[in-house]
Amino acid sequence: MFLRLLFESFRRQKRRKSVALLAIALGMSIATAMIAVGTDIGDKINQELRSLGANLVITPIEDTLDVNIGGVNLKPASEGSFIPEQELIKIKGIFWGHNVKGYAPFLSAPQVIKTASGDVKAELIGTYFAQPLHYGNEEFSTGVRSVNPWWKVEGEWPQDYAAWPQNQPPDVLAGSKLAQESHISVGDQIEIGGRKLRVSGILNSGGAEDQAVVAPLHIVQTVLDQPNAVRRVTVSALTKPEDAFARKDPETLTGAIRDRWYCSPYANSIAYQIREVLPNVRVEQIRQVEQNQGKVLSRVSGLMLLLTLAALLAAALAVSAAMAATILERRQEVGLMKSLGAGNTAVASLFLTEAGFLALAGGLIGFLAGAALAHRIGQSIFGSSIEVHPVVLAVVLCAAVLVTFIGSAGAVRKAMRFDPAVVLRGDA
């Protein structure tokens, strides 16, 4: 009899059941999408913020002068202090080495540049463009093309280490402002320190490099007679947003607390590990990037939580309205059940079972729709898919049942209070 009542309820009230099912499915689809995006958004935002450039800068510890890098005041090396280039590969050997997405060493000095239109004094900057390296069994490419993705080149990028023909000088980049002022074009030859160089491209960086010549690092080391020398290194690393624990001094921590700090991918802990492998350097954060990461992540996470709660509330209200209308229509059925001896438990079980079926069906439909929505969000915003973990299905089904039961609770309590004699006479 119970199953027959259940079947007849769905058969005779298809419209109301469809409305409740649609409300649950819509609420669960938004919840699924927000949960899926929320579990993956940390790395996605991290990747997006890495497009803003480096978040750590390494200089020799004997620094004295102030410079400005990306609007951040830092203290780079003095004229006689250098970092050995061959030691930089150790950066990939730290505990969080796989989080280091790239680094770019720099060596620079003002030089007289001989061009076809005359001599001009400008900065000569040496760096990696896309230098292939290997550490252990790992092979990777690093340089300004990955660390400074906003650098734009009209022409071709130089090769870091290339076997140039005897009759062709090494390639370099000329900054856009320098090229405009000195009438330098792609393909022109210039001379620096007695060495001929070919301009393979015009660089637009939006910074001081626009008034400089940027060359492969080993070329500048040769011109300046400073082999294996690096003046500054910028590092792009995936990090966890900074919190109060991240700002603790590791020297004051002991035991498991220190291990937790050391094994967390904070910018501070990565900087600390770099200092361990490169003991004579100073590592500082470019804090605008790190602070923006935490702010963006917290605001987006808060917005997603708000959307999820709003969707669940809307689903609960829709279920409540549909269930109230259902029970009002079936009040005589409830009265008949009670007059035949059914107790409040049986009445509540009937309606809650109906709600449970609706919740499971709506939750499953919402999960499938939400997974598709999350995939679309990932492709449109981050350019990559969002992975929906199987555990999200269990969370969504539990949430669907909970929301449906909460929405049905008021109507079910009202059904339990029906007086059989009153409703059967049609007075209620």
- Return the higher-pLDDT residue of 6 and 381: 381
What's the confidence (pLDDT) of residue 39? 73
The yes-or-no verdict on residue 215 having pLDDT over 50 is yes
CA–CA dist 126, 246 (Å, integer): 34
What's the confidence (pLDDT) of residue 346? 74
Mean pLDDT throughout 215-221? 93
Mean residue pLDDT of the chain comes to: 82
CA distances from 301 to 185, 317, 391 (A): 48, 24, 19
Mean pLDDT throughout 223-229? 92
pLDDT band at 117 (very low <50, low <70, confident <90, very high): confident
Percent of the chain's residues with pLDDT above 70: 78
Task: Count how many residues are written for the chain.
Answer: 428
DSSP 8-state secondary structure symbol assigned to residue 58: E
Domain assignments of the chain as residue spans, ordered by start: 2-46+294-425, 55-285
How many Å from the N-terminal Cα to the C-terminal Cα in the chain? 25
CB atoms within 10 A of CB 104: 25
What's the confidence (pLDDT) of residue 6? 57
Mean pLDDT throughout 116-141? 91
Percent of the chain's residues with pLDDT above 90: 35
H-run or E-run covering 10: helix 2-12
- Listed range (42-51, 179-188, 342-351) with the worst mean pLDDT: 42-51
- Listed range (156-170, 270-284, 333-347, 350-364) with the worst mean pLDDT: 333-347
**Cα three-residue angle 342-356-34, rounded to 5 degrees:** 155
Take residue 116 and report the two structure tokens written for it: 């076809």
Question: In 3D, which of 201, 304, 289 has the Cα closest to residue 241?
Answer: 289
CA–CA dist 226, 249 (Å, integer): 36
Reported pTM? 0.60
The yes-or-no verdict on residue 270 having pLDDT over 90 is yes
Question: In 3D, which of 293, 292, 283, 298 has the Cα closest to residue 232?
Answer: 283
Residues 291/294/296/301 CA torsion (nearest 10 deg): -170
Place of tokens 């709600």: 355
What's the confidence (pLDDT) of residue 325? 78
